[in-house]
Amino acid sequence: MPAKVDEIWGERVNSIKGAHPKWGAGRTYQELKLRAEAHRRNDYPSERWVGQYLRDIWAVMDEEKQHQYSLLYWPESLERDELPWEASAACLELLGRVFAGGTLGEKRPTIRLARAFWRVTLAAPDLDAHKRVRFARFWSAWQSLGGHGVPQDLRNLERYLSFAPWRSEEAAAAAEKAHNGGEFDIDVPLTIPAGEYGDDVLLETYEEEMRWPQNPKSNQSSESRTKTRTGILNT
């Protein structure tokens, strides 16, 4: 097993390897180093660690889990059974936002994010695309937390979609009343328990690489970092 380092780096290696399955340890390490240095991170692991991680973790990871880190391409991703063909329309809509420079910029989404967007679209096809992307990011991030995900976060999403406040003034008023009554959080924030992850874990791992939080050695306050971890998907 590779030596223990900040949890972010394993997820980073998964992300790089998923996007570039033919790359070996050397090239994966160089890409990891470039990404880290571009964001002023100098605590990245060694090439030896990356090689060990690829052998001991990535190589034994089941194929379905590996696919979650792959980038979405239509129709190739569906031809490889990474997503069902029924997801085609949602996948193309999501890619359209990429090509148009929308919510995701120019970065192709992962299979994990595309699957979440498809499922949110099935649940709420009339919800505007920006919010469907945001909720897909939230759900994808929550899934990546595994056993550390907070169940109430999903209940918030469930309540929001059930109330469907975008459909009418009456629905919006009912959702607001439930929110004010403490039944759910209408903002649907993502919670990462501070007790489970140190302040140095980069939340952006769990958000499909949308942004990089602060270097753990920065002088940002602990309180500020906690707010970033719990509220970053609230936009």
pLDDT digits (tens, 9 = 90+) for 86-128: 999 999 999 998 888 755 545 788 999 999 999 999 999 999 9
55 with 82, same domain: the answer is no
For CA atoms 217, 220, 106, 149, give the dihedral sign.
positive
Boundary-marking domain end, from 61, 85, 105 = 61
The count of domains in the chain is 2
28 with 50, same domain: the answer is yes
What is the domain range of residue 117?
Answer: 70-140
Is 192 a domain residue? no
53 with 76, same domain: the answer is no
57 with 89, same domain: the answer is no
122 with 98, same domain: the answer is yes
Q: Tens digits of per-residue pLDDT, 208-230?
A: 443 333 333 433 333 333 333 44
Boundary-marking domain end, from 79, 106, 140 = 140
In the Cβ-directed half-sphere of 23, how many Cα atoms lie within 13 Å? Answer: 20
Is 54 a domain residue? yes
pTM of the model: 0.75
Is 36 a domain residue? yes
In angstroms, the CA 76 to CA 233 distance is 30
